[in-house]
Structure 1
Amino acid sequence: MNDGGLFSFRNPHFRISVGLTLGLLMLTALTGFVVLPYAQRELEFAGLWDAICSAAGLSRDTVPVASVKPAPVPTSKVVLTAATMARPGQQSIGRGATLAQRCAICHGPTGISRADAPNLAGQYGAVIYKQLEDFRSGARTNAVMSPFAVNLSDQDIVDLAAYYAYLPRLPAYHPGPQLQPTRIVVYGAPSRGIAPCGACHGSLDNKPGSPWLEGQSAVYLKAQLEAFASGQRRNDISAQMRNVARAMTAREIDEAAAYYASQPSEVINAAE
């Protein structure tokens, strides 16, 4: 067989080889100049020719897609010190009493809620101050509280906190059998990084800015623990409550909420 016959299109083997080579070349070009450029999500092309030019290193009308960064979620910037809300004046308490008339529909005329809103009578002034500041800044959100707090002045927040802290803690409106403290409340779960609830919320100790929980609604307490666990609520500055709530089981959340709801509020004046 001579060379002319070997490389002739009359030779079926030559035709097949040339066809496979051209097909592979076209497939490679299509992949490299069209498919791969369009697979780059960070670029947009004006057309097919623009994509081919970009793949060849001759970018013409490529438009970088602006990377959309999620807006930072605000978190609490309140700094609590020993002087926060210390010894409020009578004028401040009086102004707070006037402002609190708008709060009575949810929190009760004496600071004791008949709904599932938190009881505020006798709550630590620093706690109410921080939460109102967080509602106003957006660090904590609520369909009712956020629109209300956004219009409060700095002095309004101080006065409301002073007034509710001045009120005596009255028995809660949520009656029920008094439960024994659960393991998560007294001992926590050290293996999961959960401190005892009482280490921050009373009984064992009280951390500045941590509310007392006795007598609060079980529905409210459970909702807040679940919000911390899901990240929906994130105004705990060091994420301590989020970390604790995420590590708690659903049963532990139910038990802790039920225990605190069953406890009688101690009749004292928190401002003293």
Structure 2
Amino acid sequence: MKKSVMAVALTLAALAASGARADPVGNPEAAKYKVAMCIGCHGIEDYRTAFPEVYHVPKLGGQNAGYIASALREYRLGNRHYATMHAIAVSLSDQDIADIAAYYAAQTPTSKDNAVK
């Protein structure tokens, strides 16, 4: 028993020393006003952008939270190449990203998730 407690303690200490951190937990309620910027494109049925190329804008409701958070972080870093999304994502904190991802994951693809509630 003492060995397993010691192993857990050493593992936690190693993680803390390495700078590892957990992603913040998303709060869908906190995102209600943060998603206003998303609605302009993702809230329009069959919306397509015309710059820099014609692109079908996906609906976000019901999408996996991990996927949304990962995509937003990649846009923020510039690893995904869409200027509008990059410009938005660079203004988001890690907590904003987690909240927005949780908000859209709590919706369904057919829900009216496109209006601030």
TM-score category of the 2 structures, normalised to the smaller one: 0.5 to 0.7
User: Would you say 1:106 and 2:46 are equivalent positions?
Assistant: no
For the Cα contact (< 8 Å) 2:62–2:109, is it kept in 1?
Answer: yes
Alignment match, 2:51: none
Q: Matches of 1:152 and 1:118 in 2, distance apart?
A: 20
* Aligned counterparts, 1:115-194, within 5 A: 115=47, 116-170=56-110
Q: Structure 1: give runs of 5+ residues left out of the alignment.
A: 1-82, 172-272
Aligned residue identity for 2:81: T
Q: Matches of 2:45 and 2:101 in 1, distance apart?
A: 16
Q: Secondary structure at the match of 1:167?
A: coil
CA, structure 1 residues 131+113, in 2 after alignment: closer, same or farther (shift >3 Å)? farther
Q: Secondary structure at the match of 2:30?
A: helix
Q: Give the aligned CA root-mean-square deviation in angstroms.
A: 2.2
Q: Matches of 1:163 and 1:118 in 2, distance apart?
A: 16
Cα deviation 1:178-229 (Å, max 9, x = unaligned): xxxxxxxxxxxxxxxxxxxxxxxxxxxxxxxxxxxxxxxxxxxxxxxxxxxx
Alignment match, 1:61: none
Q: Matches of 2:31 and 2:93 in 1, distance apart?
A: 12
Name the % identity: 39
TM-score when normalising by structure 2: 0.63
Q: Secondary structure at the match of 2:32?
A: helix
Cα deviation 1:90-138 (Å, max 9, x = unaligned): xx10121211111101000xxx643020110000000000000000011
For the Cα contact (< 8 Å) 2:23–2:94, is it kept in 1?
Answer: no
Alignment match, 1:94: 29
* Aligned counterparts, 1:231-246, within 5 A: none
Q: Structure 2: give runs of 5+ residues left out of the alignment.
A: 1-21, 48-55, 112-117
Q: Secondary structure at the match of 2:70?
A: helix
Higher relative contact order (Cα pairs below 8 Å, separated by 6+ residues): 2
* Aligned counterparts, 1:253-272, within 5 A: none
Q: Secondary structure at the match of 1:164?
A: helix
